[in-house]
Structure 1
Amino acid sequence: MRGEVLRLVAGHRGPVAAGIVLTLAGSGLGLAQPLLVRRAIEAAGSGRTAWAVIVALVALFLAQAALEGVVRYVLARTGEGIVLGIRLHLVDHLLRLRMPVYDRHRTGDLISRVGTDTMALRRVVATGFTDAVTGCLGLIGAAALMIWLDPGLFLLVAALVAVAAGALAGALRGMRSASLRGQEATGEMAADLERALGAIRTVRAVGAEGRETARIGGRARDAHAANLRTARFDALAAPAGDIAITGSFLLVLLIGGARVASGAASVADLVAFLMYMVYLTGPLGSLFEAVGVIRQGSGAVHRINEALSWPPEREGEVVPPQEPSRESRTLLEFQDVRFAYEPGRPVLHDVSFEVPRHGHVAIIGPSGAGKSTVFALIERFYDPDGGRILFDGHDVRRLDRGRYRSLIGLVEQDCPMLYGTLRDNLAYAVPDADPEDLDGVIALSGLSDLVERLPEGLDTPVGERGAALSGGERQRVAIARALLAKPRLLLLDEPASHLDADSEMALRRTLLRLSRECALIVIAHRLTTVRAASSIVVLREGRVTATGTHEHLMGHDAYYRGLVSEWLGHQRARGMSWT
């Protein structure tokens, strides 16, 4: 646990050290005061008033009080700085993870690690860690002076503190597991709430509010039970500190008073020792509380370190060429590509096909054939288990991911929209795009009427996940967003799925124009989109079973002819013509 905390505060050693030094300075001012009181009492016993000692005592007291205020601010600022630094690092890390990590973890849980867990960490670092260090050092200083004043009384105090520490250790053993379970349950609650709010229209439409409330409430009750278990351990740990502090004070008062009464010790020594006992309550209480705080926050520290240990994407060695090579007419090539999301369950088997620098390639096949996986491999969300994917003659596994992806435009089937304005979404890939380029992609994707109709034009908010737009409008926005980056390769996953007949015909004309400018790969289930392709790849059960033009496949592939017959039936039902 100590090593995990030190790793997290590694970049904040300066502020943490400043807080510790200031706390120790305050401790030093406090340690000097009992010695001055002892001298003042001894002077009074000899019939004189030590004004210089009294003035020094008042000055030390006021300086200590002022320093404590400074320390509180420094520690609070240090804690917030540490939380900010870890949050920024964690957010950057979470946004750069390998895709399989996102597949295994829920979005709400990842968000909880940035929010709830880092707040718990703030208390661990700013309070627990600092108090543990300063408490130990303060105890050492106080103990040294108490041994100098009265070794016998100190041994009694040390024995009582040791008994309390043993009781505390027993209570803290179960606190780590209870804390971790509480943080995990809180993350699960956040994940379930994000799940329900993300599909709130579906939840309302099917009347599932009660079921979702029960599900999320169950997670909240799990967190409540885990936190109560942590509180029970904390309740057992708290009396240990009281035993150590209050019990020691009473013991010293009784035994020390008896020794003064018998003449074995002086009143000045007893008062000084008692003042050190009073002073000792600070670092001793801080130390006991720090141990409890660190144990309670150990779950959050573990979850943050776990997230930071997840592997990010590795960068490539070669920067892909911005300009097309003249050596080959092929832009992208799959060579016997094999891939599985899980070992032993292959999705693609020796897939091979080529994509020319200009042209329209359609990938067709039943659900589960591996079409979306092909797109994921092209975008390098995953790397193939076998075979090669070449981009302009380079193995994509050796290319710099960021530069490579900048040459590829992706239009996903669900067309995710970001919270913000229409302009924010259109220019997401190119924030500093020229207005002329923006107007061009708006016209090319058929968004001109939408922009004119919206109350604030491009500056109109689109709502959460694009709720203010229709499915077809979100699709066109996604296409325009991809086109604005002027990609060399454009990937479109079922671009006609949300379009009406007229919009689909317009899309077909748009694809024809685009195929003259760059390479297009389209996952298609509509005949108009497929027939417009210059090359068609038939994918079934993770294998390429046929390639060629529409006319070639109609004459040589029975499966393709069956698909065309099925599509024609759908088109007639929609009142669309073949052309």
Structure 2
Amino acid sequence: MSTATDDDDPFEEQREEVDNAMVSLFDGYGRAHYFEAAVAIIASIFARVLDLAPPILLGLAIDSVIQQNKPFLPYLPREWVPPTDGGRLVFMGGLIAGSFLLGAAFHWVRNWGWNSFSQHIQHEIRTDTYDKMQRLNMDFFATKQTGEMMSILSNDVNRLERFLNDGLNSAFRLSVMVVAIGFYLFYVNWQLAVLTMLPVPIIALFTYKFVKAIQPKYADVRSSVGHLNSRLENNLGGIQVIKTSNTEDYESERVDDVSQGYFDANWGAITIRIKFFPALRIISGVGFVLTFIFGGLWVIGGPPLFFSGSLAEGEFVTFILLSQQFVWPMAQFGQIINMYQRARASSERIFGLMNEPSRIEENPDADELQVDDGDVVYEDVSFGYGEAERIVEDISFEVEGGETLALVGPTGAGKSTVLKLLLRMYDVDEGEIRIDGQDISEATLPSLRRHIGYVSQDTFLFYGTVEENIKYGTFDADREDVVAAAKAAEAHEFIQNLPAGYDTEVGERGVKLSGGQRQRIDIARAILKDPEILVLDEATSDVDTETEMLIQRSLDRLTADRTTFSIAHRLSTIKDADKIVVLEGGEIVERGTHEDLLAEDGLYANLWGVQAGEIDELPDEFVERAAERTATVDDDIED
């Protein structure tokens, strides 16, 4: 139940390997959707230009009324303009209404473009990230918690979508407004326009300082979200243990701790943000105030100070209206930069994960595995996790097609690791594993795993019906095949007694079923797959005696005429195996049949004596070694 400390980002190593994450985002995913982006950009330009039409038309109308000799609309043919004041008023109202209607149409197209662009990329990134994640080595998942990975698939991907939609939409909208307004203001009166834009360099410097300060804060926020999700996922998954242990208060305190960590990280970013935006508005407002004062003085009494030329009343009104639309967008650029920094922190985690190398590299020229007899050979196989010491060392044995080999040994001996190497959950460091003479590292992964069935101690059922769980991995099976597999697994009778039979929802992780029922559904799944090679990893542990008897009967049917590997702590379940290999400390220390190993009076015989209740007769050396093993077994070593 350990979690990463609040100071550590579980994906820091991946993030540090990413260069230009946002460039990768647009180059790798945006390229396929440039049409939607282009439509959105063009629509943004027209929509924003049309938004500027009402204040410009209003200023021209005012000047044409006050200055009778000034044209009503300078660039419009005179014969198009009504001769009367009332007609001109209606005509002007029609132009303004038309600009609103046409602008609304372009706004709709703009929103369609940006939403289509962002939603497609969000979907593709999420599915690609998940696909990459599920293909990573098992040792990657051993160091990452589910909540942390869910944080990337959910929160980080959603944050990217918000930037691609709202952020880019606003960025282009504001850019068009600033450029168009700036151009028109300089066209009307360049001197007053310079005064209006005096705050722009200050805003740019202020924004640069904000970016430098906020970027590391958002990285901390993303990390703390992963820790919080991990704690919540961990606790909800272990709710039964919490209740039976009466530790609700303790777990509430732990959730409070990680939530406080998220609060502190988020509040650190908020503190910077809430100082930045009001200050930015003040700076932006300076330009508006200067424009209002000096422009008003200009209209009332002529050009003030060093200004020269004239400024008409309508031009001043247009200047006031447009300068306000110019100044406030400058302040809103801070919001866009804020969204960009959040998106950048998320994209680094996403692409850091997607760039994570896999220790299992499939040969592009790999062949399909062909299994005829099912002979399996381990030859001098050694393996260790990363730079750690070897977990298994020089493992060699041969299993002929149809035989059953049992792996026995104390906790931490490396039993499960040996069989996971057969499934290529990990690749061997030295030696090779062959099936019917073919090195499994030279076979395609799908073909290898298609020929191997796996029944685990920790049965996992997906949320769905009983039938869907039995068919998992053999999706084209029909109901008759499913029922036949369930009967062979001694599961048909209890399934029939469920409320909806095979259509009964099993709940999350199969919570509505008992351990033995889940185990038999897992065995039915393996029977339906009909593999040539079968791996049984503690398939009858943690169940009562009657359930074990039923499961053992179904396993006897399943293992008939198949090459079978079995791990069991209950030695009575494997005493009839054709071969038994005894592991200790990652090495083979004994091998033979049940009778042979009892006659050797070694480790296997002592383990048998423990289960037979002959504890008092065990040699002191065995008891001392057992105590040492339980004291030194590393959490990372698997059975």
Same fold (TM over 0.5): yes
Distance 1:232 1:303 in 2: 24
CA gap of 1:10–1:90, structure 2 versus 1, over 3 A, is farther
Secondary structure in structure 2 of the residue aligned to 1:101: helix
Range that drifts further, 102-111 or 296-305:
296-305
Asked if structure 1 preserves the Cα contact closer than 8 Å seen for 2:406 and 2:579, the reply is yes
- Offset at residue 319 of structure 1 (A): 3.5
Amino acid at match of 1:455: P
What is aligned with 2:257? 218
- Offset at residue 407 of structure 1 (A): 0.9
Match of 2:603 among 555, 559, 562: 559
- Offset at residue 570 of structure 1 (A): 7.8
What is aligned with 1:171? 210
**2:68 is the alignment partner of 1:46:** yes
- Offset at residue 298 of structure 1 (A): 3.2
What is aligned with 1:388? 432
What is aligned with 2:45? 24
**2:34 is the alignment partner of 1:13:** yes
- Offset at residue 53 of structure 1 (A): 5.8
CA gap of 1:243–1:65, structure 2 versus 1, over 3 A, is farther
Secondary structure in structure 1 of the residue aligned to 2:368: coil
Distance 1:506 1:225 in 2: 54
Match of 2:344 among 294, 298, 311: 298
CA gap of 1:55–1:484, structure 2 versus 1, over 3 A, is same
Amino acid at match of 1:364: V
Distance 1:75 1:252 in 2: 34
After superposition, what is the alpha-carbon deviation per residue over 1:87-137, rounded to whole angstroms, capped at 9, x for unaligned?
222222222222222122110111121222222222211112332234234
Match of 2:298 among 240, 250, 259: 259
Secondary structure in structure 2 of the residue aligned to 1:342: coil
Distance 1:524 1:538 in 2: 11
Amino acid at match of 1:422: V
What is aligned with 1:410? 454
- Offset at residue 362 of structure 1 (A): 0.5
**2:283 is the alignment partner of 1:272:** no
For 1:194-205, list aligned pairs within 5 A.
Answer: 194-205=233-244
Asked if structure 2 preserves the Cα contact closer than 8 Å seen for 1:363 and 1:523, the reply is yes
Amino acid at match of 1:426: I
Match of 2:159 among 120, 132, 139: 120
- Offset at residue 211 of structure 1 (A): 1.3
After superposition, what is the alpha-carbon deviation per residue over 1:423-453, rounded to whole angstroms, capped at 9, x for unaligned?
1221112122133332222222211331232
Distance 1:334 1:121 in 2: 47
What is aligned with 1:59? 98
Amino acid at match of 2:310: A
Range that drifts further, 425-434 or 257-266:
257-266
Amino acid at match of 2:368: P
Distance 1:465 1:195 in 2: 14
CA gap of 1:283–1:65, structure 2 versus 1, over 3 A, is farther
Asked if structure 2 preserves the Cα contact closer than 8 Å seen for 1:16 and 1:130, the reply is no
Asked if structure 1 preserves the Cα contact closer than 8 Å seen for 2:470 and 2:521, the reply is yes
CA gap of 1:455–1:261, structure 2 versus 1, over 3 A, is closer
Asked if structure 1 preserves the Cα contact closer than 8 Å seen for 2:516 and 2:543, the reply is yes
Range that drifts further, 76-85 or 372-381:
76-85
CA gap of 1:157–1:558, structure 2 versus 1, over 3 A, is same
Secondary structure in structure 2 of the residue aligned to 1:569: coil
Distance 1:255 1:445 in 2: 90
What is aligned with 2:407? 363
- Any gaps of 5 or more consecutive residues in structure 1? 572-579
Amino acid at match of 1:19: A
Distance 2:550 2:299 in 1: 102
What is aligned with 2:245? 206
Amino acid at match of 1:204: K
Distance 1:157 1:427 in 2: 70
What is aligned with 1:342? 386
Asked if structure 2 preserves the Cα contact closer than 8 Å seen for 1:360 and 1:511, the reply is no
Distance 2:128 2:576 in 1: 47
Identity %: 29
What is aligned with 2:23? 3
After superposition, what is the alpha-carbon deviation per residue over 1:280-324, rounded to whole angstroms, capped at 9, x for unaligned?
246434423211221244332332222222235544433434451
Asked if structure 1 preserves the Cα contact closer than 8 Å seen for 2:288 and 2:327, the reply is no
Asked if structure 1 preserves the Cα contact closer than 8 Å seen for 2:374 and 2:532, the reply is no
- Offset at residue 4 of structure 1 (A): 5.1
CA gap of 1:244–1:4, structure 2 versus 1, over 3 A, is farther
- Offset at residue 340 of structure 1 (A): 0.7
**What RMSD, in angstroms, separates the aligned Cα atoms of the two structures?**
2.6
Distance 1:502 1:296 in 2: 56
CA gap of 1:210–1:323, structure 2 versus 1, over 3 A, is same
Amino acid at match of 2:396: S
**2:441 is the alignment partner of 1:397:** yes
Distance 2:142 2:283 in 1: 50
Distance 1:60 1:508 in 2: 79
For 1:187-198, list aligned pairs within 5 A.
Answer: 187-198=226-237
What is aligned with 1:82? 121
Asked if structure 2 preserves the Cα contact closer than 8 Å seen for 1:554 and 1:560, the reply is yes
Asked if structure 2 preserves the Cα contact closer than 8 Å seen for 1:348 and 1:370, the reply is yes
Distance 1:420 1:13 in 2: 39
Asked if structure 2 preserves the Cα contact closer than 8 Å seen for 1:539 and 1:546, the reply is yes
Asked if structure 1 preserves the Cα contact closer than 8 Å seen for 2:371 and 2:532, the reply is no
CA gap of 1:53–1:454, structure 2 versus 1, over 3 A, is closer
Distance 1:297 1:456 in 2: 46
- Any gaps of 5 or more consecutive residues in structure 2? 1-20, 73-80, 82-87, 303-308, 616-639
Alignment coverage as a number of residue pairs: 567
Match of 2:145 among 106, 110, 122: 106
- Offset at residue 32 of structure 1 (A): 4.8
Distance 1:512 1:228 in 2: 60
After superposition, what is the alpha-carbon deviation per residue over 1:61-105, rounded to whole angstroms, capped at 9, x for unaligned?
332244335534554454444333332222222222222221221
Range that drifts further, 186-195 or 130-139:
130-139
After superposition, what is the alpha-carbon deviation per residue over 1:141-190, rounded to whole angstroms, capped at 9, x for unaligned?
32223223322223223321211232232233221222221222122111
- Offset at residue 502 of structure 1 (A): 4.5
Secondary structure in structure 1 of the residue aligned to 2:61: helix
Match of 1:138 among 177, 189, 192: 177
Distance 1:435 1:322 in 2: 28
Secondary structure in structure 2 of the residue aligned to 1:83: helix
Range that drifts further, 199-208 or 296-305:
296-305
After superposition, what is the alpha-carbon deviation per residue over 1:14-36, rounded to whole angstroms, capped at 9, x for unaligned?
32332222111112223455554
Match of 1:378 among 397, 422, 431: 422
For 1:509-520, list aligned pairs within 5 A.
Answer: 509-520=553-564
Asked if structure 1 preserves the Cα contact closer than 8 Å seen for 2:287 and 2:327, the reply is no
Distance 1:570 1:134 in 2: 82
What is aligned with 1:483? 527
Secondary structure in structure 2 of the residue aligned to 1:358: coil
Amino acid at match of 1:26: A
- Offset at residue 408 of structure 1 (A): 0.7
Asked if structure 1 preserves the Cα contact closer than 8 Å seen for 2:217 and 2:265, the reply is yes
Q: TM-score, normalised by structure 2?
A: 0.82
Range that drifts further, 308-317 or 247-256:
308-317
Secondary structure in structure 1 of the residue aligned to 2:390: strand
After superposition, what is the alpha-carbon deviation per residue over 1:536-569, rounded to whole angstroms, capped at 9, x for unaligned?
1111110112222223323346222222222333
Asked if structure 1 preserves the Cα contact closer than 8 Å seen for 2:395 and 2:588, the reply is yes
Secondary structure in structure 2 of the residue aligned to 1:310: coil
Secondary structure in structure 1 of the residue aligned to 2:199: helix
Match of 2:499 among 441, 455, 465: 455
Asked if structure 2 preserves the Cα contact closer than 8 Å seen for 1:423 and 1:458, the reply is yes
Amino acid at match of 2:366: V
Secondary structure in structure 1 of the residue aligned to 2:506: coil
